[in-house]
């Protein structure tokens, strides 16, 4: 209680200005909730949808501005021969604004903006009853993800986690008249509760050993007591990893994903696949590199075992996700199991540690996360359009798409090639950078599993292309709403751009992010 009071007392007006992106989203949530009560039901959907998009873009603008301002101040300090970390700590170091959190916030906000834009053309034709709630509940969910990315304290981290979780529980089950949606929401609530319990249980061990909730203080305590309480540290860290493993849907904690992705509205499926997964990865990065990295003693190499566990989880996710997807014909379940495999790819940079002086882990991770954002949201947008036309969620709905909507089929080919990791797409270079990082770290076995998993995935990814070009056409006309078309072609153009000029993007990320200043800072 005293720690919470100290954090509130230390929040000055200047510090509150650093939280402008979060305040903006919270303000928009309150205003839209009130506005929804007074607007006519017929017009509330479009008005609230566009205002939600405006709030997200405004918040994104503040994040980008703050990041550029930090870069400018850091450059000026270096030119003057002064040292500057570029990390802003507020609320007694329970909240950190750095390049790590800023890049992730850009990904979360950009993904949510695309999801809202996608839904503006499709939600009005769905059976979602409370469409206003559908839009403004996305805003606190994004705030939760942003808090998770910036957390420097276990309490702050857990608040962000629960804010994200509770709002997504509601969003998954928002189709009140759909039994499938209600079942998905129930399963998600149960698995989410188990995940939260595991994470809290692991956190309690770290607090019991160190007597602190701040990540920097925990790192110092872990360094001091690693030799005294190795068993307790193992329990604490592995319970946290298991809980977060559920959140990212990595094998063997993935069984909820296919049912939840299938039952949720398609825009929420995209949100779970990108934003919710990315926020959980942000927490793993913070805990592993800020705390677990120091949890070793001469007798017990705890940190090495944690990195090994991450690599084993990555290998399991890649193989299980790819092989289980071979027998799937429902597109959303296919995306869910593809997401399991992609969670494995995203785990590899975390598990590499700093072996062989490999320090571009975060750059490789964020590049592939951005590519995954584009190809997943783009593919789900195409699926939404096709499922409305063919009145089916099966892969067969893509039959003859090239002859019904050739340009939409071309865009889908780009997304499929990126998901499969083939040139010239962002997904290809994303996997290639991670693969080269694993080889540089001499983890050849994880690199081999990446290759095997990618080859297995060709079968079901190319099954979609086979349906579009080599199967008899369906008579149903394909109508692409304007907003959906904008999302499809924005994602297509960005996916191809990342596949043509990947180096400048990756170099810019690595130039601004510092694993010492952003993750090792205390």
**Res 2: pLDDT:** 47
Residue 442 Rama label (left phi>0; alpha psi -120 to 50; beta): left
| Average pLDDT value for residue range 482-495 | 93
Prediction pTM value: 0.92
Cα–Cα distance measured from residue 228 to residue 434, given in angstroms and rounded to the nearest whole number: 36
Q: Are 311 and 446 in contact (CB under 8 A)?
A: yes
Helix, strand and coil in the chain, % to nearest 5: 80, 0, 20
**Res 126: pLDDT:** 56
Cα–Cα distance measured from residue 306 to residue 389, given in angstroms and rounded to the nearest whole number: 48
pLDDT tens readout for residues 15-51: 777 889 999 999 999 999 898 888 776 666 678 889 9
**Res 83: pLDDT:** 56
Instruction: Output the 3-class SS for 440-456.
Output: HCCCHHHHHHHHHHHHH
For residue 235, give both structure tokens: 């329990």
C-alpha separations of 350 from 163, 364, 489 in Å: 25, 10, 32
For residue 258, give both structure tokens: 């296919």
**Res 365: pLDDT:** 92
CA 291 vs. chain centroid, Å, equals 21
pLDDT greater than 80 at residue 4: no
**Residue 110 burial by Cβ neighbours in a 10 Å radius (0-12, 13-18, 19+):** buried
At a CB cut-off of 8 Å and minimum separation 6, what does 458 contact? 420
Rg for the chain, CA atoms, rounded: 22
Tell me whether the omega of the peptide bond preceding residue 50 falls within 30 degrees of 0, making it cis.
no
Q: pLDDT averaged over the chain?
A: 87
Q: Which of 17-21, 73-77, 468-472, 488-492 has the lowest mean pLDDT?
A: 73-77
Confidence of residue 481 (pLDDT cuts 50, 70, 90): confident
pLDDT greater than 50 at residue 1: no
Q: Are 188 and 169 in contact (CB under 8 A)?
A: yes
pLDDT tens readout for residues 334-361: 999 999 999 999 999 988 876 656 667 8
In 3-state terms, what secondary structure has residue 386? helix
């Amino acid at each position: 209680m005293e720690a919470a009071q100290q954090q509130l007392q230390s929040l000055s007006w200047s510090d509150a200005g650093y939280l402008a992106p979060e305040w903006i989203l919270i303000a928009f949530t309150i205003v839209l909730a009130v506005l929804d009560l007074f607007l006519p039901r017929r017009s509330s959907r479009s008005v609230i949808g566009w205002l939600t998009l405006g709030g997200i873009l405004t918040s994104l603008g503040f994040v980008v501005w703050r990041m550029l301002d930090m870069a400018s101040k850091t450059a000026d300090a270096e030119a003057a021969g002064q040292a500057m970390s570029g990390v802003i700590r507020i609320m007694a170091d329970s909240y950190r604004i750095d390049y790590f959190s800023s890049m992730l916030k850009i990904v979360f906000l950009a993904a949510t903006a695309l999801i809202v834009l996608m839904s503006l053309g499709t939600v009005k034709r769905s059976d979602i009853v409370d469409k206003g709630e559908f839009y403004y509940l996305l805003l606190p969910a994004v705030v939760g993800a942003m808090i998770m990315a910036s957390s420097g304290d276990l309490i702050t981290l857990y608040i962000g986690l629960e804010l994200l979780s509770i709002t997504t529980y509601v969003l998954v089950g928002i189709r009140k008249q759909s039994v499938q949606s209600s079942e998905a929401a129930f399963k998600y609530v149960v698995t989410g509760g188990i995940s939260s319990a595991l994470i809290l249980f692991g956190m309690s061990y770290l607090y019991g050993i160190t007597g602190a909730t701040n990540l920097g203080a925990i790192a110092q305590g872990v360094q001091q007591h690693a030799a005294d309480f190795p068993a307790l540290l193992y329990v604490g860290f592995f319970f946290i990893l298991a809980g977060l493993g559920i959140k990212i849907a990595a094998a063997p904690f993935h069984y909820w994903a296919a049912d939840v992705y299938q039952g949720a509205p398609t825009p929420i499926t995209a949100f779970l696949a990108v934003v919710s997964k990315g926020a959980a990865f942000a927490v793993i990065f913070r805990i592993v590199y800020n705390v677990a990295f120091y949890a070793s003693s001469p007798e017990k190499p705890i940190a090495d075992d944690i990195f090994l566990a991450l690599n084993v989880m990555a290998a399991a996710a890649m193989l299980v996700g790819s092989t289980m997807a071979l027998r799937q014909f429902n597109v959303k379940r296919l995306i869910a199991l593809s997401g399991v495999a992609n969670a494995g790819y995203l785990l590899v940079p975390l598990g590499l540690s700093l072996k062989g002086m490999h320090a571009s882990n975060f750059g490789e991770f964020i590049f592939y996360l951005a590519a995954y954002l584009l190809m997943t949201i783009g593919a789900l947008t195409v699926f939404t359009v096709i499922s409305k036309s063919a009145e089916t969620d099966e892969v067969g709905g893509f039959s003859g798409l090239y002859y019904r909507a050739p340009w939409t089929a071309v865009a889908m080919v780009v997304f499929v090639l990126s998901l499969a990791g083939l040139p010239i797409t962002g997904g290809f270079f994303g996997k290639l950078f991670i693969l080269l990082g694993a080889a540089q770290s001499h983890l050849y076995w994880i690199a081999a599993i990446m290759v095997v998993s990618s080859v297995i995935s060709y079968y079901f990814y190319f099954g979609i292309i086979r349906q579009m070009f080599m199967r008899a056409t369906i008579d149903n006309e394909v109508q692409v709403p304007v907003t959906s078309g904008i999302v499809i072609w924005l994602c297509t153009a960005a996916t191809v751009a990342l596949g043509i000029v990947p180096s400048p993007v990756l170099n810019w990320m690595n130039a601004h992010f510092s694993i010492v200043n952003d993750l090792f800072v205390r």
